[in-house]
Homo-oligomer: A and B are copies of this chain.
Amino acid sequence: MSHNTFGHLFRVTTWGESHGPAIGCVVDGCPPLIPLTEADIQPWLDRRRPGQSRYTTQRREPDAVRILSGVHTDQNGRQVTTGTPIALMIENVDQRSKDYSDISTSYRPGHADYTYEVKYGIRDPRGGGRSSARETAMRVAAGAIARKVVPGLRVRGALVQVGPHRIDPQRWDWDEVDRNPFFCPDATTAELWADFLDGVRKAGSSTGAVVEVVADGVPAGLGAPVYGKLDQDIAAGLMSINAVKGVEIGAGFAAAALSGEDNADEMRMGNDGTVRFLSNNAGGILGGLSTGQPVVARFAVKPTSSILTPRRTVTREGTDAEISTKGRHDPCVGIRAVPVGEAMLAIVIADHYLRHRAQIGR
């Protein structure tokens, strides 16, 4: 049991606060002999990096990752994993302080600073310590390793809703995802979001969002029927991301309104002699086990509570007060949650791939 470790056999332990000297993680249980250099990890971090558009926080961090252990250069000069723990570290650069005059004496509504102080007896005004989104950089780094553990695995994500505005699934184009600052798979909706988010940003406000993550190439049979369900761990992994308030698999909450006839994915033999599903309401998981179809999950990200509009709150001394957050804002934290959601999905699948191999032997 641990408060800061995720996974059972492919295990990720993260550490570090946004205002300390560095953040890092230890990836334990990775198989040996997998080619791995910083160049395999850095591009995923670059996708998540803040400050790349006016729609995300202006904190500027190069987020240059270093591998401190767990790799080895073989006779052919190729750097590979050794099977020992892989330590990753990113030095914090931009530790510029916000204007903390208000928030050091009052709690921000919707923020963890109140519950933090109740639990730990500590009031850390500088970015919330471990509750900072900065921790998610290490998830992305660990996820880059997880992607290499399962042969043939591809994990992708997209933003599918911003505030009240959803994409049109008919216009879904994976190639579009990297062409706009929102990871939006639908070019038309991306334009609409740009306008909407400009308004949010100028108002010093914020908005929620929904992210969809999809894993192709997941072998059938990963998971277990009761408390080792693949979807159980996906739910845990995605809900563990900051600001996430809901998780669904396949048809998800929409399945509640369906009949058995409409929900169950029918099957036919494919020409290649393998089983083919005619739909994917299951999101690639039946009875906690992967079906071989793409694994599809969605999660809801609430709007950040750091907004300009004054809100009613209380002070540490127990008096009523008002608070507004000045300085850097993040109008839609859901945008940067896309690479983080991908990483968590990859980590869960890598973990279950190893768990499956242990019990089943292949």
A290 to B114, CA, bound (A): 10
Tell me which residues across on chain B come within 8 A of A292, comparing CB atoms: 118
A248 touches B251 (CB 8 A): no
Instruction: Knowing A210-B256, A307-B261, A357-B357 are in contact, say whether A129-B85 is a contact too (CB < 8 A).
Output: no
Whole-angstrom distance between the Cβ of A70 and the nearest chain B Cβ: 7
Give the copy number.
4
**Which of A120-162 touch B at CB < 8 Å?**
120-122, 124, 128-131, 135, 161
State whether the Cβ of A327 lies closer than 8 Å to any Cβ in chain B: no
Whole-angstrom distance between the Cβ of A150 and the nearest chain B Cβ: 11
A130 touches B359 (CB 8 A): no
B311 touches A109 (CB 8 A): no
Query: Out of B31, B118, B236, which one reaches A232, CB within 8 Å?
Result: B236
State whether the Cβ of A246 lies closer than 8 Å to any Cβ in chain B: yes
A267 touches B109 (CB 8 A): yes
Whole-angstrom distance between the Cβ of A289 and the nearest chain B Cβ: 4
A338 to B21, CA, bound (A): 33
A260 touches B207 (CB 8 A): yes
Tell me which residues across on chain B come within 8 A of A228, comparing CB atoms: 2-4
B111 touches A286 (CB 8 A): yes
